Chains A and B, each alone.
Chain A
Amino acid sequence: MSAFLAAGPNLGRGGIGAWLAGLSPAGKAGVLAVEVVVMLVVWQLVVGVFGWINPVFLPPPTAIAQGFVELVAGGMLWPNMLISAQAWLIGFAVAAVIAIPIGLLMGSSLPMDRVVGPIAWTIYATPTIAYQPLAKAWFGFGIGPVIFLVAVSALFPILLNVAAGMRTTNASIIRAGQVYGASRTQLYRSVYLPSTVPFLFAGLRQAVVLATIGMVVAELAGSASGMGALIIKAANTYQTDQAFAAIAIVVAWSVGMTQVVTLVERWAAPWTRKGRR
């Protein structure tokens, strides 16, 4: 044990770490696939075959797949998915449009940071679910409160990351800009903004996950449609297989949108792309 600790974290220097680091993208995907399959098989064995856990509480993967088929066949999946995706996309876009300029202002002006910063952190620190009843009161029972909670959830990670990116622009690069005669405008355009880009994408990635949580929270209570409503309806009628199927779709959405952000980052900010490793 002590020898293991003394060796420090395994960051691809040898053994299995080095083997993993040396894999091609296809190889890495293969490893992930094996991991998922092993997990599913164990799950199936524990619940479905040995029956160690009551399948009502945790349905086995095959039952969840069946639940998925039931949702599709019953015509419940597509309408709810569409309404959720719509609310999510609108809320996320609203958040980005508001957060990016305010974040840039906060990052470039200390007074602005002092005024907006504490408010932003306070709202960010408040659990999304606390806004849920208010959102209903303000926006009724349609798509409105969902959009609101998605936007509130996504806003602050984007805003605070952009502000941090702006503020932490390498002082040495700023000096280089000054030495080579950059005007104030040039300094913002050529130094501060590009240096903030990786932070923007880090913020967007966090925002994807939080926006999805906000969406489900908004739909869980008092909503007639959306993935959250689907989950709660299925769970209330003990159709846990359907509930899990709906949860899996929400997770897939969240992971998928994170990947979309990463792809956009690779295209928009090629210099952040990791080298061959």
Chain B
Amino acid sequence: MTTTSIERNEAGAPLISVRDLSVSYDVARTGKRLTAIEGVDLDVHEGEFITVLGPSGCGKTTFMNVVAGLVKPTTGTVLVGGSPVTGPGPDRAVVFQDYALLPWRTVFDNVKFGLEMQKELKGAGWRERVQEAIELVGLAGFEQSYPRELSGGMQQRVGLARAIVAEPRILLMDEPLGAVDALTREVMRDEIEKLMAATGKTVLFITHSIEEAILLGDRIVVFKSHPGAIKEIIETGLERPRSERSIQHDPRFLELRDHLWDALQGEATAAAVSK
């Protein structure tokens, strides 16, 4: 539990290996070519929790979509477990900012969605797995509720359960707490921290919250915009388990926060001006 990120980094070949990744596309309306991200290099090791921090429009979501297999790289390579990404796969699950639940399915049926699509409902024990995932995210008793009967925080718990039930090696989270109210967000940060520490999953977590990036990340990948690219990568070096409360007064947390604040402020201003 108290394994530091430095030790994790030394173990074996990286689980995700991104080399010289660029994504650009033609904008039909203006006829111009837009570069979303450029020259991204990143290695992520098994069990690492990577937070990707940057202003909106810096290409961090595009980056995640490439790893998810939803967007094809224009140049460069993305390897997961040594093989190139050609599309989505059961080794990667995504938690979406807008939850992306199926409104016509109950909580239980939403959580089983991944297993169903991967045709894993034949074997015994899938019901137990779904139930276990629901209980793990604290939604026991809501199995038969529809998403619109739940609060935003609870809907995102369903999104989390749907992602972990398929037992992927990598969890990709695209600002999962971005649409959740402030109080729930703080509670859920701590819960995600605990949950991921317990399952030991490799996580790529997109956020534009500095506190969130520090609290959750072993390493923080800071993106800059125009074009989107990695500005710097920082080891947090904070002991786990962490919580919102426990790190508040940690000098390392304060130092990181000031540093990231300065880094992002420049970026945010640049982004605002160029728009």
B192 to chain A, nearest CB (A): 19
Q: CA separation between A190 and B166, bound complex, in Å? A: 18
With contacts A175-B70, A275-B148, A275-B149 known, is A180 near B102, CB below 8 A?
no
Query: Are B117 and A186 within 8 A (Cβ)?
Result: yes
> Do B104 and A269 touch (CB < 8 A)?
yes
Q: Would you call A271 and B148 a contact (CB within 8 A)?
A: yes
Question: Can you name 30 A-B pairs with beta carbons within 8 Å?
Answer: A172-B96, A172-B98, A173-B100, A173-B102, A175-B70, A175-B96, A175-B100, A176-B102, A178-B70, A178-B87, A179-B69, A179-B70, A179-B92, A179-B93, A180-B117, A180-B118, A180-B162, A181-B88, A181-B89, A181-B114, A181-B118, A183-B117, A186-B117, A190-B113, A190-B116, A197-B104, A271-B105, A271-B146, A271-B148, A275-B148
B104 touches A195 (CB 8 A): yes
CB of A182 within 8 Å of the partner chain: yes
Whole-angstrom distance between the alpha carbons of A180 and B103 in the complex?
A: 16
A183 to B98, CA, bound (A): 23
With an 8 A cutoff between CB atoms, is B18 at the interface? no
Chain B contact residues (Cβ within 8 angstroms of A): what range?
20 to 34
Report whether A179 and B146 are in contact in the complex, using a CB–CB cutoff of 8 Å: no
In the assembled complex, A168 has its CB within 8 A of some CB on chain B: no
Given A181-B117, A186-B117, A275-B149: A176 and B88 interface contact (C-beta under 8 Å):
no
Which residue of B104, B113, B149 is within 8 Å of A180 (Cβ)? B113
How many Å from the CB of A270 to the closest CB on chain B?
8
B118 and A172 contacting across the interface, CB-CB below 8 Å? no
Q: State A195–B70 Cα separation when bound (angstroms).
A: 21
**Residue from B92, B103, B118 having most chain A Cβ neighbours under 10 A:** B103
Say yes or no: is B94 at the interface (Cβ < 8 Å to chain A): yes
Q: A175-B70, A176-B100 are in contact. List 14 more A-B contacts (CB 8 A).
A: A173-B100, A175-B96, A176-B96, A178-B70, A179-B70, A180-B114, A180-B117, A180-B162, A181-B114, A186-B117, A190-B113, A190-B117, A195-B103, A271-B105
Does A117 sit within 8 A of B, measured CB to CB? no
User: Does A55 touch B at the CB level, under 8 Å?
Assistant: no
B104 surroundings in chain A (CB, below 8 A)? 194-195, 197, 269, 271
Nearest-CB residue, chain A, relative to B115 = A180
Which residues of B (134-158) have their CB < 8 Å from a CB of A? 146, 148-149
Are B96 and A181 touching (Cβ within 8 A)? no
A271 & B103 in contact (Cβ 8 Å cutoff): yes
Number of A residues, CB within 8 Å of B: 22
Do B103 and A178 touch across chains, with their CB atoms under 8 A apart?
no
Q: Does B76 contact A (CB under 8 A)?
A: no
Q: Does B117 lie within 8 Å of A182, measured CB to CB? A: yes
Chain B residues with Cβ below 8 Å from A176 are 94, 96, 100-102, 113
Judge whether B237 is part of the interface by a CB distance below 8 angstroms: no
Q: How far is the CA of A221 from the CA of B92 in the complex (A)?
A: 66
Bound state CA distance, A181 and B115, in angstroms? 9
Cβ-based interface call for A177 (8 A) = yes
Residues of A within 8 A of B70 (CB): 175, 178-179
A191 within 8 A of B: yes
Q: Which of A175, A186, A270, A275 has the most CB of B within 10 A?
A: A175
> What is the bound-complex CA distance between A197 and B103, given in angstroms?
12
Within the complex, the shortest CB–CB distance from A259 to chain B, in Å, comes to 22
Interface residues of A in 247-277 (CB under 8 A from B): 269-271, 275
Within 8 A of A (CB), among B209-242: none
- Pair B88/A172 contact, Cβ less than 8 Å: no
Cα–Cα, bound, A177→B100 (Å): 9
Residues of A within 8 A of B197 (CB): none
State whether the Cβ of B84 lies closer than 8 Å to any Cβ in chain A.
Answer: no
The answer to whether the Cβ of B44 comes within 8 Å of any Cβ in the partner chain is: no
- Please report the C-alpha to C-alpha distance between residue A179 and residue B96 in the assembled complex, in whole angstroms: 11
